[in-house]
Amino acid sequence: MRRLWIGLTYAVFLILLIAPLSKIITSAFSGGLAGLGRALGRPEAMHALMMTGAIVVIVTLLNTLFGIMMALYLVRATWLGGKIKSLLNSIVDLPYAVSPVIGGLMIVLLLGPDSIIGGFLEGTGFRVVYAFPGMIIATLFVTFPLMVREVMPVLQEIGNDQEQAASTLGAYSWLTFRKVTWPMIRWAVVYGMVLTIARSLGEFGAVLVVSGNIMNRTQTATTLVYQDVENFNVAAASGVALVLAVFSAGLLLIMEWIKKRKEVH
Amino acid sequence: MHIQVRNLDKHFGSFHAVKDVSFDIEKGHLIGLLGPSGGGKTSILRMLAGLESPDSGEIAFHGQVVNDIPPQERGIGFVFQNYALFKHMTVFDNIAFGLKVKKAPKSKIKERVMELVELTGLKGFEKRYPHQLSGGQRQRVAFARALAPEPQLLLLDEPFAAIDAKIRQELRSWLRELIERVGITSIFVTHDQDEAIEVADEIMIINQGRVEQKGTPWDIYKEPKTPFVATFIGESTMVEEASVLKGFDGAGSRGQARALIRPEYIELGHEQDFPILSATEEGIVRHLHFRGSEWLVEVEVKGRKLVTYRSLEKDTLQPGQEIRVLIHRAYLFNEEDSWIEENRLKVDPMPVMI
């Protein structure tokens, strides 16, 4: 009986994780190395990967900055009432609960060409939806809780004693943050960044709705994979998917390493 | 630094933590804020540091009101209850922090830190991290860190609370000596009366957000101004009707009074031990407890239990034994007033001149 359970667990693991991964690899190399090169060398593939890279970099930077600030204000701010704090705290988790597609739809409704704000921006020549800014906003929406949720527990655990000690020793808030708070939260921040990168690398739903998936304009790696599959170009889709998978695997390894560092600290 | 506090008031939500507190502290004094937990001691200390702002009232250092001055500019050193050492910094960097903030030259920082390391007996530990130190060593680091920028006022929040009883004793006398040597005005908070009595020049008893009494440990012990102080400092037993005791029958003249009697106010002995036997009560020994260096004796007088100590040098008493009890004095109080009264019969009414 016990053997049966062990066997079943391994079977599930194999079917769910290993089999698809090996299928992607074999399928990507179905045309040989040259085939993979051709799939990735297509102009739309190059553009899509560049697009994804740009989104990852910008979103990670913005999310790190605002995520740390949000966590600091939610934990430390004395000028926020307890009720407002707990309300904000639960709203932070909204992107976890809402489907990314609906997240994307909300952005389209709010900032699309038919909306008041979107119409105004369009008038000034600045396009949000079906353009790069909208894709950044959509990815930010999806990744926002990741940094906040990593940093907040650390801030709560260390308390504000050390920060108060720094203030009695003459240090103002920026110096206190740099010398006292930052060294204690930095591994949590790096972990949050890795999670953000992984999530923005693989984001599909929200970006698909907001971008309109226009080839060579607003197409990302994931939406390109989707389109290649639609066009029965499975080998090309596998090639792009393999690039994403390799990146994600690398991130997982980094995450394991950071986890160990975090525990040491 | 001369400190003046006037009508300080502080609420936390609906909790009235500090109620109309005023006091003065002279330069160079070591003051202990003593009282039960939750009495407002730490709130007063944190307001002096600028870590909390008072609802109303004034705090003045050297005659200058500092209410609106942030903690960074107040020139104070603060030692936190859990030390709040910077975990990711070495002992050296912890102590140097305040000097680095002030952008002191490197050579001067090093000199000052080494001086403090020497002074606090931490030599050889400069490169360690806080988690590699014992509780006592951490406390010394916290102390050195607070002293490094040469503050004018040192504030200590329960400085010994997190330390083993045995090392605590050692650290207390060390701290007292060190503060004397540095000559800095210091205020520390404690709930331990032994600690306050041993370390402080002056004690402020704080209860339910008010200062009950301020004075030297001896004055407070000798002449407690309120019943709370009398019960809080030292040991005592309470007798509901003071007038039933011999020598205190006059107590009723100021209305019904209750009596607090400290162990050392009571003398036990045989009939021949007392020159004026009429001043003594008859008592029965109920219990004896060995207290290491003396006996704690529970004795029953007129159905009331009194407690006193008895030297090991005197003959050992037995439970059930009859004995004479002389109450030298009692601390009496009623709703309006409190006072100390000597046993009226103790003085020979007809002294014989020789």
Q: What is the tens place of the pLDDT at every residue in A136-146?
A: 999 999 999 99
Cα gap B268→B255, rounded to integer Å: 29
Q: Within this chain, do residues A11 and A121 fall inside the same structural domain, yes or no? A: no
Distance from C-alpha of B84 to C-alpha of A164, rounded to nearest angstrom: 8
The torsion of the CA quartet A52, A54, A57, A61, rounded to 10 degrees, works out to: -120
C-alpha to C-alpha distance for B325 and A120, rounded to whole angstroms: 97
Cα–Cα distance between B49 and B56 in angstroms, integer?
Answer: 16
Query: What pLDDT sits at residue A121?
Result: 86
- Co-location of A108 and A194 in the same domain: yes
pLDDT at A168: 94
pLDDT tens digits, one per residue of A88-106: 889 999 998 999 999 999 9
How far apart CA B339 and CA B332 sit, in angstroms, is 5
Q: Does residue A10 sit in the same domain as residue A89?
A: no
| CA dihedral sign, ordered A52, A58, A59, A61 | positive
What is residue B178's predicted lDDT score, i.e. its pLDDT? 85
The pLDDT tens digits of the residues spanning B168-177 come to 888 888 888 8
**A260: domain range?**
37-264
All structural domains of chain B: 3-232 (3.40.50.300), 237-342 (2.40.50.140)
Cβ–Cβ of A165/B49 closer than 8 Å? Answer: no
Residues A13 and A56 in one domain: no
Best probe of the A interface among B97, B113, B147, B150, by most A CBs < 10 A, is B97
Same domain, A44 and A171: yes
- The pLDDT score that the predictor gives to residue B313 is 86
Determine contact, residues A106/A60, Cβ cutoff 8 Å: no
If phi > 0 it is left, if psi is from -120 to 50 it is alpha, else beta; for residue B57 that is left
Q: Are residues A146 and A106 in the same domain?
A: yes
Q: Is residue A67 over pLDDT 90? A: yes
- From B48, which residue of chain A is nearest by alpha-carbon distance? A168
Same domain? For A107 and A43 the reply is: yes
Give the model's pLDDT for residue A31. Answer: 84
Distance, in Å, from the CA atom of B112 to the CA atom of B120, rounded to the nearest integer, reads 12
Note whether A168 contacts B149, CB cutoff 8 Å.
no
Is the domain of A207 the same as that of A126? yes
**Which of A13-22, A79-88, A178-187, B332-341 is least confident?**
B332-341
Cα nearest neighbour of A186 on chain B: B88
CB contact residues (below 8 A), chain B span 51-80, against chain A: 51, 70-74, 76-78, 80
Specify the DSSP element, H or E, that contains B30.
strand B30-34
**Parallel, antiparallel, or unpaired: how do β-strands B56-61 and B64-65 relate?**
antiparallel
Q: What percent of chain A has pLDDT over 90?
A: 64
State the angle between helix axes of A234-264 and A19-28 in degrees (0 to 180), rounded to the nearest 10. 130
- The tally of domains found in chain A comes to 2
pLDDT tier for residue B208 given thresholds of 50, 70 and 90: very high
pLDDT of residue B340: 82
pLDDT of B330 above 90? no
For residue B250, what pLDDT band results from cuts at 50, 70 and 90? low
Nearest to A168 among B76, B82, B87 (CB): B76
Residue A155 and residue A217 in one domain: yes
3-state secondary structure (DSSP) of residue B310: strand
Tokens for B78, please give them: 């603060």
Total CB pairs under 8 A between chain A and B: 61
Give the pLDDT confidence score for residue B351 in this predicted structure. 56
Percent of chain B with pLDDT over 70: 96
Percent of chain A topping pLDDT 70: 98
Chain A hits for B72, CB-CB cut-off 8 Å, are 167-168, 170-172
**pLDDT on residue A263:** 61
Give the per-residue pLDDT at A262. Answer: 66
Check whether residue A41 and residue A82 sit in a common domain. Answer: yes
pLDDT the model gives residue B317? 85
Q: Do A45 and A22 belong together in one domain?
A: no
| B162 Rama class: left (phi>0) / alpha (psi -120 to 50) / beta | alpha
pLDDT of residue B8: 93
Residue B135, chain A, CB below 8 Å: the answer is no
pLDDT score recorded for residue A143: 95
Q: How many CA atoms lie within 13 A of A46 on its CB side?
A: 5
Measured between alpha carbons, how far is A234 from B338 in angstroms, rounded to an integer? 96
- A264 pLDDT tier (thresholds 50, 70, 90): low
Check residue B279 and give its pLDDT.
81
Decide if pLDDT at B353 tops 70.
no
Q: What is the pLDDT of residues B139-155, one digit of tens each?
A: 999 999 999 999 999 99
Give the C-alpha separation, A84 to A253, whole Å: 38
Q: Which H helix or E strand runs over A171? A: none
Q: Does B14 touch chain A (CB under 8 A)?
A: no
Chain A residues with CB under 8 Å of a chain B CB are 158, 161-162, 164-172, 175, 179-180, 183-184, 265
What pLDDT is attached to residue A265? 52
Ramachandran area for residue B8 (φ above 0: left; ψ -120 to 50: alpha; else beta): beta
Mean predicted lDDT score pLDDT of chain A = 90
Q: Which range in A57-66, B162-171, B305-314 is most confidently predicted, on average pLDDT?
A: A57-66
pLDDT over 80 at B210, yes or no: yes
Would you state the pLDDT for residue A119? 85
Residue A219 pLDDT grade (very low, low, confident, very high; cuts 50, 70, 90): very high
Q: pLDDT, tens digit, for every residue of A154-177?
A: 999 998 999 999 999 999 999 999
Q: Say if residues B31 and B201 touch (Cβ distance below 8 Å).
A: yes
User: Which of A160, A168, A174 should we substitute to test contact with B (largest number of B Cβ atoms within 10 Å)?
Assistant: A168
| Chain B residue numbers touching A166 (CB-CB < 8 A) | 86, 97, 101
Strands B258-261 and B237-239 come out as antiparallel
CB of B129 within 8 Å of any CB in chain A? no
Comparing A78-82, A186-190, A220-224, B317-321, the range with the smallest average pLDDT is: A78-82
Is the pLDDT at B352 greater than 60? The verdict is no
CATH classification at residue A99: 1.10.3720.10
A20 and A84 housed in the same domain? no
Task: Give contacts of B145 with chain A, Cβ < 8 Å.
Answer: 165, 169
Report yes or no: B146 at the A interface, CB cutoff 8 Å.
Answer: yes
Mutate to test the interface with B, among A162, A169, A186, A262 (most CBs of B within 10 A): A169
State the pLDDT at residue A54: 96
Closest CA to A112 of A141, A140, A133: A133
| Nearest Cα residue in chain A from B49 | A168
Neighboring chain A residues of B73 at a CB cutoff of 8 Å: 170
